[in-house]
Structure 1
Amino acid sequence: MSPAARLASINERIARAARPARRSPADITLIAVSKTHPAEAITPLLAAGQRDFGENRVQEAQAKWPALREAWPDARLHLIGQLQSNKAAEAVALADAIHAVDRPSLVAALAKAMDAQGRRPACFVQVNIGAEPQKGGCAIDDLPALLAEARAADLPLAGLMCLPPAGVEAAPYFALLAKLARDNGLAGLSMGMSDDFETAVMLGATHVRVGSALFGARA
């Protein structure tokens, strides 16, 4: 299947999942997760009309995206991986959205970088929705305090993000993230990947992060 055909298939599946939830597919942003894939794999998707892409690491994004953006200036870059505070300035310079804000030190570093650069990428606070020690994300109990710090620092809060535990039904975790967002007055929900994005759409995802279903297995 060609990249354009894979993209069309994913968009159709998003639209199909949105229908029973009475949602418009236009309200759901597909993020093509291009981490570890070279520019040559990204270009066909850009040519087919895809505009939102996700990278895990600042260094990898810096290597690929300046040239891609020269050709497609309307492409939007989402940083979806764990972000070190010492990379905050580079992240702010590069990204249109940052999906893994998860601790006060990163809030402070991002706020300082945004003030210095005059750029304000959208920020999603990552919640450790399954309370997994090996995963990043803010503990559920700590979320109100972290959101208060982010608001006090004037970060442009777009919503919440999560990665449910692997190998179990994702729906309860997506439903919990949606409730946390509602309780805290946030509209955005960055949730759902190649294996479960349709479930995420039915439960309110505004951003789904799809990699292998678009690009094939990573090397």
Structure 2
Amino acid sequence: MSGATAERRAELAANLAAVRDRLTRACAQVDRDPTQLRLVVVTKYFPRTDVDALIDLGVTDLGENRDQEARAKLVDPPVRARVHFIGQFQTNKATSIAGYADVVHSLDRPKAIAALDRAVRANGREVTGLIQVSLDGATGRGGAQPEDVPALADAVAASALRLGGVMAVAPLGADPGSAFARLRTIAAELRASHPEATIVSAGMSGDLESAIAHGATHLRVGTAILGSRQSHE
């Protein structure tokens, strides 16, 4: 497989540097340590050549939304990075996802947790699970209702998965600050029962500053680094 062109590598390097600068400045505004944040670069619809170039540029965490694409792109040869599965999935995909994902951000119902639990027990890999929370009362973008988070977290903690924390997407057309403030409260309540659940996955290209201000630990950034989504299939 040929690598990314010199022009593409330069573009990725410049975009990555700009995002890292945004993170540093956002942390300075709220007196946070940028080294405590994890940048998950979302590579959905972009080729393995971009993935390899990003890893060469120091990216350690990659995010993918679709099992079929992730498996085809990241598994053979295995990617040299931590893989985050951040999309919704049907339970029949759990075995596949458990084979390569290090963190699954989208656990929002008991059946998904049970399916991933069985898959992890079967293959013996360590996988961290996050409870995806809906912050607008809707389910179109996925996510459990806030009142369901404690029971789902208990289910993850009792499974073969490691309970990592929570994930959310800011509602479309709403102030991300108020949404992320609510997520911060939900995360704090979860840590009261499960102190190990320290991950708060929130913030994307357009709202990462707001997410940082409200305690995000993991930022899922795609467009600001890779450019506009385009299919490479």
* Structure 2 stretches lacking a partner, 5+ long: 1-9, 192-196
Cα distance in 2, alignment partners of residues 68 and 3 from structure 1: 22
CA shift in 2, pair 1:68/1:50, >3 Å: farther
Match of 1:87 in 2: 93
TM-score by length of structure 2 reads 0.89
1:62-81 superposed matches below 5 A: 62-67=71-76, 69=78, 73=80, 75-81=81-87
Match of 2:221 in 1: 210
Structure 1 counterpart of 2:29, from 9, 20, 34: 20
Cα distance in 2, alignment partners of residues 151 and 41 from structure 1: 35
Structure 2 counterpart of 1:8, from 13, 17, 26: 17
Cα distance in 1, alignment partners of residues 163 and 27 from structure 2: 24
Instruction: Report the number of matched residues.
Output: 216
How far does the alpha carbon of each residue in 1:67-108 deviate from its partner, in whole angstroms, 9 at most, with x for none?
A: 453xx53x1111000011111111111101100011001111
Match of 1:114 in 2: 120
Amino acid at match of 2:59: Q
CA shift in 2, pair 1:62/1:153, >3 Å: same
Match of 2:108 in 1: 102
1:1-219 superposed matches below 5 A: 2-67=11-76, 69=78, 73=80, 75-185=81-191, 186-219=197-230
TM-score by length of structure 1 reads 0.94
Cα distance in 1, alignment partners of residues 216 and 147 from structure 2: 22
CA shift in 2, pair 1:171/1:15, >3 Å: same
Query: Secondary structure at the residue paired with 1:22?
Result: coil
Cα distance in 2, alignment partners of residues 117 and 68 from structure 1: 19
Moved over 3 A (4+): none
* Structure 1 stretches lacking a partner, 5+ long: none
Amino acid at match of 2:164: A
How far does the alpha carbon of each residue in 1:111-138 deviate from its partner, in whole angstroms, 9 at most, with x for none?
A: 1111111112111110011112322111
Shift of 1:164: 1.5
Stretch moving more, 6-15 or 130-139 = 130-139
